[in-house]
Amino acid sequence: MREADETTRERIAAHLRETAASPSALAVEFDVTASAAIDHVRHVAQSLSAGDDEQLLVAPPECRECGFSDFDDPANRPSRCPDCKNEAIEEPEFRIG
């Protein structure tokens, strides 16, 4: 299949099979917004067949100040830390493995 024939989600899935990526990196790579990239990744996760050995792996966001990483939704981009209220948050990273 030529790259032009692939959907954005198929290209994102292929990219995540090769390397881990944050929503911002996916947004730049595939010319979408970071929130759209998260939506695409969530859909890709649902599309992975249960029979396959593949699954979406998520490194959750982490506060750069206090290290908090127990966010309610690990695939989300929180605006600040619920513990220390700092806004310096590392983005989540996704990979298909």
Question: DSSP secondary structure string, 27-45?
Answer: HHHHTS-HHHHHHHHHHHH
The residue with tokens 């490194």 is: 59
- Tell me the sheet residues that pair with 93: 59
User: Residue 42 is part of which domain span?
Assistant: 3-96
User: In this predicted structure, what is the pLDDT of residue 5?
Assistant: 72
Structural domains of the chain, count:
1
Q: Which two tokens stand for residue 60?
A: 């959750």
DSSP state of 95: E
**Does residue 1 surpass a pLDDT of 90?**
no
**pTM, entire model:** 0.86
Could you tell me the CATH number of the domain that includes residue 88? 1.10.10
Q: What is the mean pLDDT of residues 72-83?
A: 92
pLDDT, tens only, 39-53:
999 999 998 876 678
